[in-house]
Structure 1
Amino acid sequence: MKVLFIGGTGNISVSVSKLAVARGIELTLLNRGQQGVSIDGAETIVADISQPEQVRAALGNRHFDAVVNWIAFVEPQIERDLDLFRGRCGQYIFISSASAYQKPLTTSAITESTPLANPYWQYSRDKIRCEERLMRAYRDEGFPMTIVRPSHTYDKYVPVAVGNWASYLIPQRMLDGKPIVVHGDGTSLWTLTHSEDFAKGFVGLLGHPQAIGHAFQITSDFVLTWDQIYSQIGDALGVKPNIVHIPSEVIARVDPGTGAGLLGDKMWCAVFDNSKIKQFVPDYVATIPFHLGIRRTLAWFQADERRMQVSAEDHDQMERILAAAGG
């Protein structure tokens, strides 16, 4: 099976790329070559997806059983991909987001039929519009699309809600005994998924003929409160975190960038019913609980001192939020 990944070297997609190659998929990565990540066994084509003519020249007349765009966020990018890949792929997979589901939720468990509506976060509304455009293309012209909605998926990032999760900020503050912010009262339920678990479900959808026209969420079944998440990070570090609870609305007022993701996603309980992905990919099961996965993440940071450098800006952001809330 021939598969094209647009991107393929990011937080989630590296694990998917590696598993795809391991399962014998003939994988081609199309990206700008700026991540400094190589996937053994995959072909790499250096081209900028934002330059369609450059992509056409790079791909020539090649046809793929599946094309996955890991870096499409707004509807014009979907329109571009429709023009690029009509007639040259058996399946087009769009990476949406579980944050697109309605806020507030009206059911306890999220399924693929949960309505899509997010009045708080532009990122989520853009993903919804992308999905709607692809559904029209499927209905009107038979474009072979599949939609995948990841939730909070991690690997080499520390999956937190407040603070730069791509840096060592939260672990370093825990080690230094400095306060860290947890939104709300820390008791809302949240689902974290390791990228290697996500990859198992995702690779099973590649080239799957019955997946055409469908949307799937792929998450673990491990559910934690936010206090438990931060406590397990602390346990992995051997310290007890100094948690300060601050209402999400206060955080949003002080730091609107963080607030959009809180009000539009992380302040709500998120428990997922994964029956559909398990029906289509029968061997899918998440096997990496957070207390083990976070140790892998921390070990990656600690393997190189440069990865543990934390900018003054990251600390300042946390201190501003704490100061505004009297923390």
Structure 2
Amino acid sequence: MRVLVTGGNRYIGLELVRLLAATGHEVTVINSHDVPLPAGVRRIHADRRIPGAFTAALAPVRDDFDAVFDNTAFVPADLEPVMDLFRGRVRHYVFTSSQAVYRRSFVQPVREDFRRHAADDDDPRKAYGVGKVRCEDLLATAWQQDGFPATWLRVGHTMGPRSPQPTRDPFFFARLEAGRPLLIPGAGHATLSLVHIHDVARLMVALLGNPNVYGQGYNVAGAECASLVGVIELIGRATGLRPRVVHVPEEIARAQRPPLVHWGEALTGTAILSIEKALRDLDWRPQYGIEAGYRDAWTWWTREGHLQYTFDYRAEDALLEQLSA
């Protein structure tokens, strides 16, 4: 198929581009950052943050694609102009959403029919998830009213090479290498789901062009879950470095900015994503467990990743001093 990928220059998007190219698809990416891409991949330069830039760049080639993977839309204002451009032209529009759409649930695992945040929730702490909810609603309405062939993917916490966020794998690798303690809120017993970016990309390719998944949302997570302290122990096994964990009282942890760890479950409680629907509907099964996923990311880190990030430990040192007083 002729596939357009928004982003496609790092992390999940780049993994997707590589897999699409390797499986024989004709791939075009649109982004604002030039990075090495597989042979034969076409690149269009445009910055989505500039109003009108995306649609202006895509309008001349709007008939060139059978499918779109939209990885860089966060609110309807990002999404709607691109949808309008490809309405009636593409056979599949796949939107990358997030597990952040879900409200806290006391029942686990979290299935696709569980409650999401209200689309009119104006709590700034939920802005990312609410933006994704609004995008999903826009796509669902377009499918119901016009047959717009959309699917949305609620991706869970990720691991793997080339994280654009230093708060993911690089956060732990850098501290383990430096022999620093890892500060976590409370006992660290809350459980979370993790998925390797290659398994996310594999699921994306697996559903491409399948009319049975139009108008549907899917959780995307790995087959394994673990508590916060369990994940840290598995990272230690993957790296061969023994983690030294410091448990920070929750009332102190809640006041820290930025948070001690980027997983919200550390303070809000367990969130395990069900992938039963994806396993039932798609020819897909996760390949990476948690330890294997971090081992793959560690290989990248030791080869080149450690050169790409810097960390400031002053706030952590001040907190450690406070805790020892």
- TM-score between the two structures when normalised by the length of structure 1: 0.86
Counterpart position of 2:99? 98
Q: 1:248 to 1:267 in 2, by over 3 A?
A: farther
Counterpart position of 2:77? 76
1:38 aligns with 2:37: yes
Q: Please state how far the C-alpha of 1:157 moved relative to its aligned partner.
A: 5.5
Q: Please state how far the C-alpha of 1:260 moved relative to its aligned partner.
A: 10
Matched residue type, 1:178: R
Q: 1:306 to 1:170 in 2, by over 3 A?
A: closer
Matched residue type, 1:232: L
Matched residue type, 2:15: S
Deviations 1:170-225 (A, max 9, x none): 32322333221123311111111111112221111111111111111121111111
Counterpart position of 2:114? 114
1:316 aligned to which of 276, 289, 314? 314
Per the alignment, in what secondary structure is the counterpart of residue 269 of structure 2? coil
Q: Please state how far the C-alpha of 1:100 moved relative to its aligned partner.
A: 1.2
Q: 1:269 to 1:157 in 2, by over 3 A?
A: farther
Are the equivalent residues in 1 in contact too, given 2:95–2:151 (CA < 8 A)?
yes
Q: 1:9 to 1:248 in 2, by over 3 A?
A: farther
Per the alignment, in what secondary structure is the counterpart of residue 259 of structure 2? helix
Describe how 1:31-180 pairs up with structure 2 within 5 A.
31-32=31-32, 34-49=33-48, 50-52=50-52, 55-60=55-60, 61-103=62-104, 105-117=105-117, 120-156=125-161, 164-165=166-167, 168-180=170-182
Q: Please state how far the C-alpha of 1:88 moved relative to its aligned partner.
A: 2.4
Counterpart position of 1:19? 19
Q: Please state how far the C-alpha of 1:31 moved relative to its aligned partner.
A: 1.3
Q: Please state how far the C-alpha of 1:5 moved relative to its aligned partner.
A: 0.6
Instruction: Structure 2: state its 5+ residue gaps.
Output: none
Deviations 1:283-306 (A, max 9, x none): x11121121221221121211385
Mapped to 2, the partners of 1:213 and 1:324 lie a distance apart of 52
Q: 1:169 to 1:210 in 2, by over 3 A?
A: closer
Matched residue type, 2:22: A
Are the equivalent residues in 2 in contact too, given 1:68–1:94 (CA < 8 A)?
yes
Deviations 1:32-59 (A, max 9, x none): 2x15231333222222334535644445
Same amino acid, percent of matched pairs: 26
Are the equivalent residues in 2 in contact too, given 1:151–1:193 (CA < 8 A)?
yes
1:228 aligns with 2:227: no
Mapped to 1, the partners of 2:323 and 2:268 lie a distance apart of 17
Mapped to 2, the partners of 1:44 and 1:205 lie a distance apart of 23
Q: 1:266 to 1:29 in 2, by over 3 A?
A: farther
Are the equivalent residues in 1 in contact too, given 2:265–2:271 (CA < 8 A)?
no
Mapped to 1, the partners of 2:306 and 2:110 lie a distance apart of 39
Q: Please state how far the C-alpha of 1:266 moved relative to its aligned partner.
A: 6.8
Instruction: Structure 1: state its 5+ residue gaps.
Output: none
RMSD across aligned C-alpha pairs, in angstroms? 2.8
Mapped to 2, the partners of 1:86 and 1:44 lie a distance apart of 22
Are the equivalent residues in 1 in contact too, given 2:10–2:162 (CA < 8 A)?
no
Q: After the TM superposition, which of the residue ranges 239-248 and 62-71 deviates more from structure 2?
A: 239-248
Q: 1:265 to 1:201 in 2, by over 3 A?
A: farther
Deviations 1:111-142 (A, max 9, x none): 11111128642211111111122222222333
Describe how 1:150-299 pairs up with structure 2 within 5 A.
150-156=155-161, 164-165=166-167, 168-247=170-249, 250-255=252-257, 257-258=258-259, 262-263=263-264, 267-282=268-283, 284-299=284-299
Mapped to 2, the partners of 1:218 and 1:121 lie a distance apart of 20
Per the alignment, in what secondary structure is the counterpart of residue 182 of structure 1? strand
- TM-score between the two structures when normalised by the length of structure 2: 0.86
Mapped to 2, the partners of 1:29 and 1:308 lie a distance apart of 23
Paired residue total: 318
Deviations 1:248-304 (A, max 9, x none): 55333221x43896557874222222121122213x111211212212211212113
Are the equivalent residues in 1 in contact too, given 2:192–2:265 (CA < 8 A)?
no
Mapped to 2, the partners of 1:266 and 1:12 lie a distance apart of 26
Q: Please state how far the C-alpha of 1:168 moved relative to its aligned partner.
A: 3.9
Counterpart position of 1:5? 5
